[in-house]
Amino acid sequence: MTQLALVIDLNVCVGCHACVTSCKEWNTSGWAGPMTDQRPYDADPTGVFFNRVQTYEAGVFPNTETYHFPKSCLHCEDPPCVPVCPTGASYKREDNGVVLVDYDKCIGCKYCSWACPYGVREFDEQQKVMKKCTLCIDRITDMSLPESERKPACVLACPTRARIYGDIHDPDSEVSVAIREQGGYALQPEWGTEPSNHYLPRRKTRIQIHEDELVRVDNPLKKEALPTLPAAGETLDDVAW
């Protein structure tokens, strides 16, 4: 079984929103579109996005750390939004595990959004149906594209390669290796929804070293003892070692 997913590296995400804009650009004109906006150039603009980049700050100034946190549908292995749908419009694809909405069946009751603890489904106020990240299903399944382009728009757009895409059920895939070796974690794991998308944590490489390890204390021959500097006025040439 294949389970396509994203792995988002919070260590390198700089919060540039390139994934947000490329997602909207690709999907609004594609299979999942339009992603309508209300009052886009007016006061109080709003609209549908499948992907948002939020920013969090940990700590108190000056000891702070800024986290840019891209947030989209996690394509859960056990998606709570799917069984509650009364029409079957919300479904999880058997072949690749992507959670999708059939806009022609959706009655716009919003019950699925209540059942999602992550708040990643957005109701389209104009089309009156529920929308969500499709993992660019029209791109990743399009065999006419070269394989390097058969990836979600957000992944292709990311300038820091903070987004990795692949099959998390394949233990040798890039995403599986990243999750395994770089501490990949799921959001709100307490619920048992088993999100497929994972996040890689902020990572810092520090060595544990003590002061006495920098200076050799056990040095009977004083091999590394520095000569006392000669008094001022003398040059090094005058010193006999």
Partner 1 sequence: MHPAFSVIFLTTLIGVGQGLFLALYTGQLYALANLLPAQSSDFYAVGSMVSLILLFAGLIASFFHLGHPERAWRAATQWRTSWLSREVLALPAAMGLIFLYGTVHFFDLTKPLFVISGTLPVDFSLIIGGLGTLAVFGLFLCTAMIYASLRFIKAWYSPLTVANFLFLGIASGFMLASAFSAYQGNSLVSFYGTWAVIATLFGLLARVATLYRNGRFRCKVDLKSAVGVHHSQLEQKAQGFMGGSFNTREFFHGKSEGLLRLVRYLFLLMVFVVPVILILLAYALESETLPLLAFGIQYLGLILERYHFFTEAQHPQNLYYQSMA
Residues 177 and 170: their CA atoms lie apart, in Å, by: 9
At its nearest, how many Å lie between partner 1 and the CB of residue 129?
6
Nearest in space to 67 (alpha carbons), one of 201, 198, 187: 201
Give the binding range for partner 1 (CB under 8 A) out of 44-52, 143-151, 164-172, 232-240.
44-52
* 50 is a contact residue toward partner 1 (CB under 8 A): no
Q: Are 140 and 156 in contact (CB under 8 A)?
A: no
* 55 is a contact residue toward partner 1 (CB under 8 A): yes
Residues 104 and 42: their CA atoms lie apart, in Å, by: 30
Q: State which residue, 79 or 97, has the beta carbon closest to partner 1.
A: 79
Give the binding range for partner 1 (CB under 8 A) out of 48-56, 92-100, 139-147, 219-227.
48-56
Tell me which of 1, 29, 78, 110 binds partner 1, using CB under 8 A: 110
At its nearest, how many Å lie between partner 1 and the CB of residue 107?
5
Give the binding range for partner 1 (CB under 8 A) out of 27-35, 42-50, 136-144, 151-159.
42-50
* 201 is a contact residue toward partner 1 (CB under 8 A): yes
Residues 27 and 21: their CA atoms lie apart, in Å, by: 10
H-state helical runs in 33-164: 111-114, 137-140, 153-157
Residues 99 and 151: their CA atoms lie apart, in Å, by: 16
Check the CA dihedral 16-18-20-25 and report its sign: positive
Give the binding range for partner 1 (CB under 8 A) out of 51-59, 151-159, 208-216, 223-231.
51-59
Residues 6+ apart with CB under 8 A from 88: 102, 105
* 28 is a contact residue toward partner 1 (CB under 8 A): no
* 122 is a contact residue toward partner 1 (CB under 8 A): yes
The CB density around residue 236, as the number of other CB atoms within 10 Å, is: 8
Residues that bind partner 1 (CB under 8 A): 10, 17, 20, 39, 44-49, 52-60, 65-67, 69, 71, 80, 83-89, 105-111, 113-119, 121-123, 125, 127-129, 185-191, 199, 201-202
